Structure 1
């Protein structure tokens, strides 16, 4: 499957309002919400994963670099990678839902915390993904071939994309340098949609993914 970057950005923003949004309602297939994890599956098997909506998201996932007092989580079919344990825990909740319902995603679109999961699941399922405002989910610098199927679209003024500092992104990273910086607001999908259009005009972003 192949998506235009413009369409991917529209769906990433729409994922926060879910089925109620006009961009999603007409092609809605299934939705999931559990333990502060949300995901939406469209009829073409595109998986949408929005980012943090509550304080508990940060406590359970964003700030949970290690699993203190518990066994280390691993991702099925992905070997030799040391993961940010909170991001991996988030991705595994989505994966468990997919497996329980025998859903097979063909493309993944995520934003923020959802972009961390998109990178991990793209690698695990070996399918393309677009991750907007993507933090770094892996301590392992060397990338598996499958991981390169993910495109991370990050803004140069978005500090979240550089966190955690000792970790790395999975896949290809394209950095958008906005005409106007928005300190404190640069992480929202509204500003990322603007950056996508600017990047397409400047030809610094691919028009479609995979290319």
Structure 2
């Protein structure tokens, strides 16, 4: 598969939120809230939560409203020895088991799906585009194949700021921060908001057009 434009990757994610039962889907999983879809083009799509409010209800219970079920800031070791946020690693392991035999050519993730995308993409060494990405790994040293992963993050999207960097958490791969003209809380997490800001004239020149990047 040829490099994809970042806007095309975002548009694919938007299309899956609008209509997940697409004719170009070859295989998919929907198990305990973990969703992933593999297309005829060889793209693995990993959706997450498209609304800010859903993040707290389903994915990251910071306030421990569901004792015994919330992962909070718990950290566990992956097979490589890297230290990951426990909830994100649990999600990623299910996606990894689905993706590994398919060997996708590209991975696109959003929100919780972007957390999994970072882990799965770096584990399999596959080009990965992650939108609205949370921080997933807690270690300073690099992880193998990080260069395959790109993260697109809005500075006003709370999800991109957790777990806290002060606790040692970080994203996997390159991170491009996009600063909006004004704050847009509660809507800034949607993939549509990411598409809008990526198209802004002041933002677009600072982002790679394609991923993987094409050498000049």
Match of 1:144 in 2: 143
Alignment of 1:62-211 (within 5 A): 63-66=71-74, 72=76, 74-75=78-79, 79-99=80-100, 102-165=101-164, 166=167, 167-198=169-200, 202-211=204-213
Match of 1:37 in 2: 34
Secondary structure at the counterpart of residue 137 of structure 2: coil
**Deviations for 1:87-141, whole angstroms, at most 9, x for unmatched residues?**
0000001112234xx3111110000100000100111000110100000000012
> Post-superposition shift, 1:200?
7.6
Secondary structure at the counterpart of residue 159 of structure 2: helix
Matched residues in 2 for 1:161 and 1:179: separation? 18
Correspondence 1:48 to 2:45: yes
Contact 1:63 1:86 in 2 (8 A): yes
> Post-superposition shift, 1:45?
1.4
Secondary structure at the counterpart of residue 134 of structure 1: coil
**Deviations for 1:44-64, whole angstroms, at most 9, x for unmatched residues?**
211000013764444699744
Contact 2:71 2:86 in 1 (8 A): no
Task: Single out whichever of 176-185 and 154-163 deviates more from structure 2.
Answer: 176-185
Matched residues in 2 for 1:43 and 1:200: separation? 35
What is the count of residue pairs matched by the alignment? 198
Specify every segment of 5 or more residues in structure 1 that has no aligned partner in the other structure, as ranges: none
Secondary structure at the counterpart of residue 83 of structure 1: strand
Secondary structure at the counterpart of residue 9 of structure 2: helix
The change in CA–CA distance for 1:10 and 1:113 in structure 2 (over 3 A counts) is: same
**Deviations for 1:141-195, whole angstroms, at most 9, x for unmatched residues?**
2223511210000001111111001210000000111233211211111101101
The change in CA–CA distance for 1:210 and 1:17 in structure 2 (over 3 A counts) is: same
Structure 1 runs, 4 residues or longer, greater than 6 Å off: none
> Post-superposition shift, 1:66?
2.2
Cα-Cα RMSD: 2.3
Matched residues in 2 for 1:93 and 1:63: separation? 16
The change in CA–CA distance for 1:8 and 1:135 in structure 2 (over 3 A counts) is: same
Task: Single out whichever of 158-167 and 46-55 deviates more from structure 2.
Answer: 46-55
